Amino acid sequence: MLLLRLIFKNTFRHRLRSMLTIVGVAIALTAFGLMRTVLDAWNAGVSASSANRLVTRNAVSLTQPLPYAYRGRIRQVTGVDIVAAGNWFGGIYLDEKNFFANFAVEAEDFFRLYPELVVTPAEQKAFLTDRKGAVIGRKLADRFHWRVGDTVTLRGTIFPGQWPMTIRAIYKGARPDTDETVLYLHWSYVDEVMKKTTPRRAGQTGFFMIGIGDATKAAEISKDIDALFRNSQAETLTETEKAFQMGFVSMSEAILMAITVVSYVVIGIILAVAANTMAMSARERLGEFAVLKTLGFPGPTLGLMLLAESLLLSLSGAALAMGLLPAITDAFTKNLAQYFPIFFVSRETMFLLPAFGVAVGVLAAAAPAVRVGTVRIAAAFRRIG
């Protein structure tokens, strides 16, 4: 009990220094947590991918279409359970600054492929039976204050023209990493309009989403699908949904690496600050440690006391960061929704904060603790003198 009182009193002996150290650790760990959250948001599509879903696209580029007629042949491949055509629609609502993802999909099979998009049976039925219907995510509805029954018109870019549609359903994500900022409309609606306005573009799709029963056979099924269209005018590339999403993430690999490096540099900087604080504390109190040694306190005990003081400071900073990070993240969520539809602090990040707090506390006090534990009494008094 006496040791605990000594540790606490010595930790906050210089209150200003101690508080600045705690605040510094908290700021550094909060910055680290924010950077980790940005990285998690960037990789959200990858983490949300299912092992039981494949994506087939044009082997040349995702911008090149595939004949819709491929759908029937893909469905006949052994191991394939569901096939749904899809297209990046690229519509704009009022102004380019209102960007959000929107896709044209084969709705009935799409809902079977993505059970994590939860809608009520009544709304799902309304969407499926309305060719000009649309389903939107909860966050997108909140952003534009849309409700079921509202009519929304998108200005086409890939598919020129004005595209009116009625919101028939609002989905919620079954998991925290489900993107709730997307609009889905019927692929058949787009295809029908293309038949009237641009016949050469009718009967084409951007990609096929494929559901398989056995995820362990994903590679084999992918090869079988691509083999069907080898040497055709539109060869295919089939890959897992995760690999498909990774293709987009890899385009920003240099940025992600820079953010990762900076996040650890921040930890290194606060480690240096904490180490300097503990070194100053040990140097100022050498005489006190010498007195304690003369009273019978073992060297290792004194070293552990200094280590405990360092941990108390760093863990206080970590605790403060754990309180600040979720609040700051929530404040950023609304402003960053356009760029990061999924933006929340993961459990892993929250676990890393106290873990790094412990690491900083131990490493910062390691050298001073060894010095205090091994310094001779006479040498300590001579230094003070």
pLDDT of 180 reads: 87
The pLDDT confidence band at residue 260, using thresholds 50, 70 and 90, is: confident
Task: Provide mean pLDDT across the span 255-278.
Answer: 79
The encoded tokens of residue 372 equal 């205090």
CB atoms within 10 A of CB 50: 16
pLDDT of 10 reads: 72
* Whole-number Å distance between alpha carbons of 248 and 244: 7
Q: Which residues, in sequence order, are bridge partners of residue 211?
A: 53, 82
Radius of gyration of the chain from its Cα atoms, rounded to whole angstroms: 30
pLDDT higher than threshold 80 for residue 208: yes
In this structure, what are the phi and psi dihedrals at residue 138, rounded to the nearest 5 degrees? -60, -45
For residues 74 and 226, the answer to whether their CB atoms sit within 8 Å is no
pLDDT of 359 reads: 87
pLDDT of 380 reads: 59
pLDDT higher than threshold 80 for residue 199: yes
pLDDT of 248 reads: 58
- 38 or 75, greater pLDDT: 75
Indicate the Cα dihedral angle 380, 383, 384, 385, nearest 10°: 120
For residues 205 and 103, the answer to whether their CB atoms sit within 8 Å is no
**Closest of 358, 83, 82, 49 to residue 208, by C-alpha:** 83
pLDDT of 45 reads: 55
pLDDT higher than threshold 60 for residue 65: yes
pLDDT of 251 reads: 57
The pLDDT confidence band at residue 337, using thresholds 50, 70 and 90, is: low
- 268 or 385, greater pLDDT: 268
pLDDT of 85 reads: 93
Distance set, CA 119 to CA 18, 122, 124, 166, 174 (Å): 52, 8, 6, 16, 10
Lowest mean pLDDT among 94-103, 133-142, 262-271, 374-383: 374-383
The pLDDT confidence band at residue 80, using thresholds 50, 70 and 90, is: very high
The encoded tokens of residue 32 equal 């680290």
In this structure, what are the phi and psi dihedrals at residue 261, rounded to the nearest 5 degrees? -65, -45
Task: Provide mean pLDDT across the span 174-179.
Answer: 80
The encoded tokens of residue 228 equal 């069907």
Three-state DSSP at 163 gives strand
List of residues 6+ apart from 334 with CB closer than 8 A: none
pLDDT of 335 reads: 63
pLDDT higher than threshold 90 for residue 254: no
The mean pLDDT value of the chain amounts to: 83
pLDDT of 48 reads: 58
pLDDT of 221 reads: 93
pLDDT of 341 reads: 64
pLDDT higher than threshold 60 for residue 384: no
Distance set, CA 339 to CA 44, 99, 242, 378 (Å): 12, 9, 20, 63
Q: What is the DSSP letter of 93?
A: S
Q: Do the bridges between strand 183-186 and strand 102-105 make them parallel or antiparallel, or are there none, so unpaired?
A: parallel
* Whole-number Å distance between alpha carbons of 246 and 239: 11
* Whole-number Å distance between alpha carbons of 301 and 16: 26
Give the model confidence (pLDDT) of 300-313 as tens digits. Answer: 777 788 888 888 88
The encoded tokens of residue 235 equal 């060869």
For residues 377 and 290, the answer to whether their CB atoms sit within 8 Å is yes
pLDDT higher than threshold 80 for residue 13: no
